Amino acid sequence: MTVQKGRYLTGRLRAAGGSILHMRTSTPEPAPSFVHRTGIRTLATQAEHSSTNRRDFLYVATGAVGAVGAAAVVWPLINQLNPDASTLALATIEFNVGAIPEGQSVTITWRGLPVFVRHRTAAEIEEAKAVPLSELKDPETDEQRTKPGHEQWLIMIANCTHLGCVPVGESGDFDGWFCPCHGSHYDTAGRIRRGPAPLNLVVPPYEFISDTLVQIG
């Protein structure tokens, strides 16, 4: 059998009777319908990828615009929460302690809180300094609670550190302050000595501008 390459395959077969039979076969071409479907499928895939890319871009673009819009809305709200100049001015007050006699206290207001200003006697100062730190629930020295050169002045927020009641001055078991709500006792430095209060009376930030002028806050 002889086979020739080309568009047709030609073969010779010798039949039983001696005659030669010629057989012609053709190589099948791809079905047009298959080619058509393949082309449509390719185009559809490309269109799907293009659609996906456009959709992803729209998601990213929309998210970016949304983030910018949210920031534009939130910033004015945050800015409104910032205190104005008048509020900031009230955050710091000045008080002249020169008129307070020794052994007396006054109560002033700072940031809406009551504040004790005590002009201590020499005996009160010595009593506070003589207390061992080991006896204190919230250990602080007297020097840590006053300013150098102004040890006679004790300035504290007038709220019990238990539940916020206002203690009574010059009372209690340690000659300092006593909270009538739940029985906390503070000494002459305002330190907790007995009762449920966990901490000493809080000393606010302050400084002496002069010998008698105090700035709190």
Query: Of the given ranges (89-93, 126-130, 141-145), which has the lowest mean pLDDT?
Result: 89-93
Question: Higher pLDDT residue, 70 or 196?
Answer: 196
For 89-216, give the CATH class.
Answer: mainly beta
Q: Are 185 and 196 in contact (CB under 8 A)?
A: no
Give the number of other Cβ atoms within 10 Å of residue 143's Cβ.
Answer: 12
pLDDT band at 101 (very low <50, low <70, confident <90, very high): very high
Catalytic (active site) residue 22: no
Tell me which DSSP letter residue 22 carries. E
Domain map of the chain by residue range?
89-216
Structure confidence at residue 11 (pLDDT): 42
Structure confidence at residue 89 (pLDDT): 55
pLDDT in tens, 34-43: 444 444 444 4
156 CB burial (10 A radius; 0-12, 13-18, 19+): buried
pLDDT in tens, 131-185: 999 999 999 999 999 999 999 999 999 999 999 999 999 999 999 999 999 999 9
Residue 111, token pair as written in the block: 């940031």
What is the rounded distance in angstroms from the CA atom of residue 120 to the CA atom of residue 17? Answer: 144
Percent of the chain with pLDDT over 70: 59
Question: What separation in angstroms does the CA of 187 have from each of 129, 192, 211?
Answer: 11, 7, 25
Measured at the CA of 14, the angle between CA 8 and CA 15, to 5 degrees, comes to: 115
Structure confidence at residue 1 (pLDDT): 42
Question: Higher pLDDT residue, 44 or 193?
Answer: 193
What is the rounded distance in angstroms from the CA atom of residue 118 to the CA atom of residue 100? Answer: 8
The catalytic position among 49, 150, 162, 182 is 182
Structure confidence at residue 76 (pLDDT): 53
Structure confidence at residue 49 (pLDDT): 52
Question: Higher pLDDT residue, 83 or 189?
Answer: 189
Amino acid at 26: S
Over 90: is that where the pLDDT of 59 sits?
no
Percent of the chain with pLDDT over 90: 58
217 CB burial (10 A radius; 0-12, 13-18, 19+): middle
What is the rounded distance in angstroms from the CA atom of residue 101 to the CA atom of residue 97? Answer: 9
pLDDT band at 187 (very low <50, low <70, confident <90, very high): very high
